[in-house]
Amino acid sequence: MNKVGHMNKVTFPNACQLMRWHFHPVGFEGSMDAPGSMIARLFDRASGETLIAIAGLPCATVMNATDVERIIEAIEAELESFVRPQLLQA
């Protein structure tokens, strides 16, 4: 079941929690770096090693489900473009 689709407005900390659930078991950390943008970091929970960090993702202190889904999609798109070239080298 999609947890994000069932709520109207979420605060930034709650949006980060939704993203943590979405990306589990990979670790997720989000922080606002400006009033309208955030940095998202995905990391290996075992080692703490950063897999990818993306700055400048549009966000707000209060967002709706569509905003959160857009951030998730942007992170996944970045992750795919980042991971695929490494897999091809193996």
Among 3, 2, 1, 8, CA closest to 67: 8
pTM comes to 0.81
pLDDT band at 89 (very low <50, low <70, confident <90, very high): low
pLDDT tens, residue by residue, 18-57: 999 999 999 999 999 999 999 999 999 999 999 999 999 9
Calculate the CA 61 to chain-centre distance. 15
